Homo-oligomer: A and B are copies of this chain.
Amino acid sequence: MASQFAGLVRKPRADAVRNRERVLEAAKAVFSAGGPEASLEAVARHAGVGIGTLYRHFPTREALYEAVYRREVDQLGDLAEQLNDEADPVEALRHWLHANVQFVATKKGMAAALALVAHGSPELHAYSLERLTRAIGALLARAVAAGEIRADISAEDVLRALIGLCYMHDQAGWQSTVLRLLDVFIDGLRVQPAKATAAKRKPVKKALKRKR
């Protein structure tokens, strides 16, 4: 097994793999805490490696953002695929969208960094869009095939709406608000909107009080 690709690619050194992993962990932690402007030297210190090591693995700040970003995206994609087992297609969709809110909720600082990198790297943006779109596409297609969701809204559209809404992670209680807005959006998606609203069908938080 050692020389499977002997001569072509050398097996990567153990310390390199370990350090790369350490830096990624540290980056996630430091960015989550200090926001995307955090010093890269702080990341290196936190990872217990030299600044040179950090820069060899991730030549630019954006490259580091990217690496973390890719991880998050893959996790979300996997989750969507698992949800294909759910019985009710619309509920599966709702479930995934709501799960995303939880996902983002655990990494406040990161979200800003991810937003920045998504804005900066077309290639990465294309990748994540493709990955997530395909993942959510299955959920959506099932609901459309069942005649429960209008067919003129694409998976990209739903994805955009979700990401946009999730970006609103600014104040206490944002989660319940976003969940409610997602339900409204799902109502808008329905082919024949039922009289009962999504909020009624699944009260996110009982008797959530509103300002007006």
Query: How would residues 150 to 167 of chain A score, 1 for a CB under 8 Å from any chain B CB and 0 otherwise?
Result: 101111110011011111
Which of A13-21, A83-91, A185-193 is the interface stretch?
A185-193
Which of A24-32, A40-48, A68-76, A174-182 is the interface stretch?
A174-182
Question: Which of under 10, 10 to 19, 20 to 34, or 35 or more describes the interface residues of A?
Answer: 35 or more
User: Residue A145 at the B interface, CB < 8 A?
Assistant: no
Which of A1-9, A51-59, A92-100, A111-119 is the interface stretch?
A111-119
Residues of chain B with a CB closer than 8 A to A156's CB: 177, 211
CB pair A178 B160 closer than 8 Å: yes
Please name 15 further chain A to chain B contacts, defined as beta carbons within 8 Å, in addition to the given A122-B171, A161-B185, A165-B165, sorted by A numbering: A35-B120, A115-B167, A125-B170, A133-B211, A155-B212, A160-B178, A164-B164, A164-B166, A184-B185, A185-B185, A186-B188, A187-B187, A187-B193, A188-B188, A192-B195
For this complex, 19 residue pairs linking A to B, each with C-beta atoms less than 8 Å apart, are: A112-B115, A115-B115, A119-B170, A153-B180, A154-B210, A154-B211, A154-B212, A156-B177, A156-B211, A157-B210, A160-B168, A160-B178, A160-B181, A161-B185, A163-B168, A164-B164, A164-B165, A164-B181, A188-B193
| Interfacial residues, chain A to chain B (CB-CB below 8 A) | 35, 112, 115-116, 118-120, 122, 125, 133, 137, 150, 152-157, 160-161, 163-168, 170-171, 174, 177-178, 180-181, 184-190, 192-193, 195, 197, 199, 210-212
